[in-house]
Chain A
């Protein structure tokens, strides 16, 4: 069964460093998402991506964040200069397309980012 994969499963970095979190969405999907969950808090939407551009983003998704689909298969989230408060589990999701009532979002297992 097709699935969304994410690498690495756990990333440890120093404050101020750049990190890139990688996702491989399901191959025929058209919509891509990043969410994050700070420990003990709710899963929060970061950004959605469609047709090679950002379609929606939350207030969390500031200039420190960027997304890219560099090669038609990977979908990456870059944090330019990490802060302690960026420590969280980051989930990638993808959706086939059309109305959400017919197409669910499929989630990856997440990348746990720890900023020291």
Chain B
């Protein structure tokens, strides 16, 4: 069975600082990997995904993530935080062999951005 671990339920950064949100997965075969963001009172929005090919993937709003198979990680980064980045971020995986593509989520990390 797959599992996802997000280190830190809350991460606080100052505006302009580097954002690093950690995600590690446990799976016998490297899965598809996703980061979703949830703004208050809104649904989950896909930030980026890794399926195959280049291990550094770029997403919306200046975020990127790197798949590291040896570390079973898919950490999310952004060079310079903006106040509008304050939200909850979820890492998720999907089994490559699953026909229906069910997502397994981490517990989420709340990103707090201070002026």
Contacts and interface: CB of A to CB of B under 8 A. Distances in A.
Interface residues of B, number: 27
Nearest to A42: B107
A48 B100 contact: yes
Interface stretch (B12-20, B44-52, B61-69, B72-80): B44-52
A18 interface: no
7 contacts: A35-B103, A42-B106, A93-B44, A99-B101, A100-B98, A104-B34, A109-B41
Given A41-B107, A42-B107, A95 B101 contact: yes
Interface of B: 4, 32, 34, 36, 41-46, 49, 51-52, 90, 92, 94, 98-108
Q: 10 nearest interchain CB pairs?
A: A101-B51, A100-B101, A107-B44, A107-B43, A43-B105, A42-B107, A109-B43, A48-B100, A55-B100, A104-B46
Given A101-B32, A104-B46, A109-B42, A56 B102 contact: yes
